Structure 1
Amino acid sequence: MDPRDTSAPETRAQTLPAPPTLAELLLTTPVALFLDFDGTLVEIADTPDTIEVPGELGPRLRLLASRMDGRLAIVSGRSIDDIATHFDSEGLARAGSHGASRFAADGARLGEEPAGLDDDTVQLLTAYADKTGCHLERKSHGAALHFRQVPEAGDAAIAFATELARRKGLDVKTGKAVIELVQRGATKAAAVTAFMATEPFKGATPIFIGDDVTDEDGFRSATAHGGFGILVGNRDGSAARYALPNVPSVHDWLTMWSDAK
């Protein structure tokens, strides 16, 4: 260890190499892209409703999907309906609610629609958010407590949601200043597996791009299917093989090929 390095070992993140360009990858294999939304395609905001989505995002993704014969899917923790309020995702394969709710590009549902949370769970989360100043995000198939604006409430919010999930037989998803309750089995890995079993994804090399802890399941699933993950940002112990530094670099990596003539 360099004696001039005074940072604690646990705070230093591994440095992953940059991925090959998409154009380079497509010279050797058909590629299937799985893209997280917040922190990957759009910048994270103080609350889920205040994100700013570039106006050209939908058209560019549809162009890229077309040039990849449809092998592109959005895989988000948001619900499908919520994604649709922020940008036009029609014509794209998409999975919401951490991969539990899945649709092909033509709108056909893949698998059964998951159940939502019961009224008692929602009421308990609502009361807790009102009391602590956390922001409660209601979703079709879950609910999340965001504490970005009240970071001092984070540890208690995580403890509360974890215990509530245990009592209700739910799973928890933790991320950047957020903890979410979902039905069991809702993972981005399941979404990758479901898409990879169908055309046009079948037989392609999957690449999952995401920034948060919940994307690690997607990285591992892509690797299990012969592909790899690309982490947006930096985090120690990630299952991703490569990394891109931020959202603009993801856009550059994607459009580097889609804009090619």
Structure 2
Amino acid sequence: MTHPHRLLPDRVSLFLDVDGTLAQIRPRPEDVGPDVRRNMLLRRVVKALDGRLAILSGRTISEVDYILENAVRAVAGVHGLERRDAEGERRDYLITNEVRQALDQAILVLNALAEQKRGVLIEAKGKSVGVHYRLNPEAEDMVLTITQNIAQNSPLSLQLGDRVAELRAPGPDKGDALRAFMNEVPFEGRMPVFVGDDLTDEHAFKAAVELGGFGILVGPERETAARFRLPNVAAVLDWLEDGVAHHA
């Protein structure tokens, strides 16, 4: 996979993941916080693209706003189950009482797991619950067995990522969020480019390709729908900086 060409702000609508793309992945989700250089750069990117920048994250919108210090208005959170358009209007996916009850039950089971297995962290996000085992990789088999069993016996969907298993409400994914943004002002009519690192980003890579754009994978090479690759978060920020600098 090759390095992407320079960002051309006049031609694209840009979509970015957060963890592993704009911010280093940390052992605990709450360890990721604001970064002055990154967030100032994102404000410059928003200006260069005339607002055609959106964040597609597994985090909640409120968490994204905290980490990015409200640098980007258009955000899809919880893998697309939450969405705020470029005008600031919330367009969240509504979940049923049955799904909400299933999430509540899942959280009880998973909290019990976390008490048994040191280093397993539970992240409840309203419309989903994530089980992080980065601090205890040996817990993977147990985490997967329990979450798969819950998914098979409930209306919840299981979504796997980098040392995280997430039980979520059925509904939109990151690809659906990208398509929704591309049907709205100011994104419509431009080429979509999505930058992400995880398996959960593949839906958005595929959506970008379907709409005439492309994806950029961050991290080691692997099988992916992305066309280009950047090695790490620092390279993503440098790529953004280079595009904005030449646009100015």
Structure 1 length normalisation: TM-score?
0.87
Residues 217-255 of structure 1 deviation map (CA, whole Å, 9 limit, x = unaligned): 110000001001000012421110000000000001111
1:61 counterpart = 2:42: yes
Quick one: distance in 2 between partners of 1:84 and 1:170? Answer: 27
2:4 matched to which residue of 1? 19
Match of 1:125 among 86, 90, 110: 110
Give the CA deviation at 1:258: 1.8
Give the CA deviation at 1:157: 0.3
1:185 matched to which residue of 2? 171
Quick one: distance in 1 between partners of 2:86 and 2:132? Answer: 31
Give the CA deviation at 1:37: 0.3
1:10-159 maps to which residues of 2 (within 5 A)?
16-23=1-8, 26=9, 30-89=11-70, 91-110=72-91, 112-114=93-95, 117-118=100-101, 119-133=104-118, 134-159=120-145
1:197 matched to which residue of 2? 183
User: Who wins on radius of gyration, i.e. which is larger?
Assistant: 1
1:225 matched to which residue of 2? 211
Q: Indicate conservation of the 8 Å contact 1:207/1:230, yes or no.
A: yes
1:237 counterpart = 2:218: no
Q: Decide which moves more: 118-127 or 210-219.
A: 118-127
For the structure 1 residues 162 and 225, does the alpha-carbon distance in structure 2 shift closer, same or farther, using more than 3 Å as the test?
Answer: same
Match of 2:161 among 150, 171, 175: 175
Identity of aligned residues (%): 37
4+ runs of 1 displaced by more than 4 Å? Answer: 113-116
Q: Indicate conservation of the 8 Å contact 1:117/1:142, yes or no.
A: no
Structure 2: runs of 5 or more not aligned: none
1:246 counterpart = 2:226: no
Q: Indicate conservation of the 8 Å contact 1:95/1:102, yes or no.
A: yes
Give the CA deviation at 1:86: 2.4
Report the residue type matching 1:105 in the other structure.
A
Q: Indicate conservation of the 8 Å contact 2:34/2:66, yes or no.
A: no
For the structure 1 residues 176 and 91, does the alpha-carbon distance in structure 2 shift closer, same or farther, using more than 3 Å as the test?
Answer: closer
Please report the RMSD computed on the Cα atoms of aligned residues, expressed in angstroms: 1.7
Aligned pair count reads: 242
Quick one: distance in 2 between partners of 1:67 and 1:178? Answer: 35
Q: Indicate conservation of the 8 Å contact 1:32/1:207, yes or no.
A: yes
Q: Indicate conservation of the 8 Å contact 1:110/1:194, yes or no.
A: no
